[in-house]
Structure 1
Amino acid sequence: METHKIILQGGGEHARVVLDSLLTLGHKVTALFDPKYSGDLFGVPQRGSYDPEFEPHAKAVVAIGNNAVRKRVAVVTKHTFTNVIHPSAIVSSFASLGTGNMLLQGSIVQAQCKLGNHVIINTGATIDHDCVIEDFVHIAPGAVLCGCVSIGEGSFIGAGSVIIPGKRVGAWATVGAGAVVIQDVPDYAVVVGNPARIIRYEKS
């Protein structure tokens, strides 16, 4: 396995899991950039605000769980992005991935899935065949996307939720934890419950 020098944008809770994955993979993580944190995390120095001149040949990951913030930070990051795929993740050789993605412990991505950029497939989430996940989506722990589901940019799919085959969740929508989605979800909608129902719309 080829290893790289890597920097992380982000130093909060999600960054801890991503950093743990990178260290497990044997990468040399040289810095975490986040103005809210100082000191070190797992022995890696937290260097405050992002420095685009720091180790310019290092790869970068935006390890921020909030989709809108992750997008804002990714846009201003000058380093080349890389994917993080934990050794316990199962990823079909017939799936396609963009860059900057984080596939964390125990996640599954099946054949002919297409992931965009800066997507989080969190702990134990399952993405079945032929799903399409656009940029800056976060699939939370234990969520299940059945076959042929599509998820629009920036959407959040809550922990333990289920989306039945062939449904679409629009851009910047939120599926609440434990929800069961049996109908398409419009852009910006927030849905909860079993079956999932719209409770409000949130513009990003």
Structure 2
Amino acid sequence: MDYFSRLMLIRRTYRHVFTQFYLKFFFNGVGKKAIVFKQNILVFAKGITLGNNAILLPNSRIELLPRYAGVEFEPKLVLGDNSQIHPNCHITCADSIVIGNDVIVTSNVTITDIIHPHDDINIPINKTKLKTFPVKLGDQTYVYNNSVILPGTETGRHCVIAANSVVSGKYPDYCVIAGAPAKIIKKYNAESGLWEKV
């Protein structure tokens, strides 16, 4: 094993021990072998539940908002078994973001369940009362780099979200979602065993 690989193994082992014997007391729940690396911002960790083998890789901005503009919230972020959030993601939650099992969220992805209304032009947009719409990513979903998952989005099982997509709405199992705004470009045909263009 080369020097770099040893260094990464030591770092991973340290973060695993640190997560299991210290950080878990600050989270809602931490599964076996879950690992949390150092984040840029981590707000209201007690609203976060990590499944077994879940990994939060370093340098993301993860903000759960228990209070905003004078309104109380009960934010919940769930990262399922064997799921990963890669570096430099931005997750903002005031209601519910549920990421299923075996989901990969790659680098620079944004996921949010909040909207800042801009109806009243006399109030700065960042000071208005939030509207929330829960987000759910189904098991085995893969979210590629630089995608934006907007409030109210739900994907089924084994979906692929292409890089740079802006995703809003509800999507069935076994589909490829791409574009800005995103749409389904492929679906899996169980009869032919093939992915077919839509």
How would you bin the TM-score normalised by the shorter chain? Answer: 0.5 to 0.7
1:29-178 equivalence runs, <5 A: 81-88=32-39, 90-91=41-42, 92-111=45-64, 112-129=76-93, 130-147=96-113, 148-178=134-164
Contact 2:52 2:80 in 1 (8 A): yes
Structure 1 residues 20 and 114 mapped into 2: Cα distance closer, same or farther (>3 Å)? Answer: same
Aligned to 1:67: none
Identity rate, percent: 25
CA distance in 2, matches of 1:199, 1:16: 42
Structure 1 residues 110 and 81 mapped into 2: Cα distance closer, same or farther (>3 Å)? Answer: same
1:16: how far off?
9.5
Contact 1:97 1:115 in 2 (8 A): yes
Does the alignment pair 1:25 with 2:11? Answer: no
TM-score with structure 2 setting the length:
0.61
Structure 1 residues 89 and 116 mapped into 2: Cα distance closer, same or farther (>3 Å)? Answer: farther
Structure 1 residues 26 and 192 mapped into 2: Cα distance closer, same or farther (>3 Å)? Answer: closer
Select the structure of larger CA radius of gyration.
2
Structure 1 residues 18 and 108 mapped into 2: Cα distance closer, same or farther (>3 Å)? Answer: farther
1:128: how far off?
2.2
Contact 2:147 2:164 in 1 (8 A): yes
CA distance in 2, matches of 1:201, 1:16: 42
1:20: how far off?
6.9
Contact 1:97 1:116 in 2 (8 A): yes
Structure 1 residue runs without a partner (length 5+) = 1-10, 28-79
Aligned residues: 139
Structure 2 residue runs without a partner (length 5+) = 18-30, 65-75, 114-133, 194-198
Q: Deviation per CA, 1:138-182: give whole Å up to 9, x if none.
A: 001011111121100000011100111011011100000000012
CA distance in 2, matches of 1:132, 1:17: 33
What amino acid is the match of 1:103? L
CA distance in 2, matches of 1:16, 1:123: 20
- 3-state SS in 1 of match to 2:46: coil
Contact 2:16 2:35 in 1 (8 A): no
CA distance in 1, matches of 2:187, 2:142: 13
RMSD after superposition:
2.9
TM-score with structure 1 setting the length:
0.60
Q: In terms of mean alpha carbon deviation, does 125-134 or 15-24 score higher?
A: 15-24
Q: Deviation per CA, 1:26-56: give whole Å up to 9, x if none.
A: 86xxxxxxxxxxxxxxxxxxxxxxxxxxxxx
Contact 1:95 1:110 in 2 (8 A): no
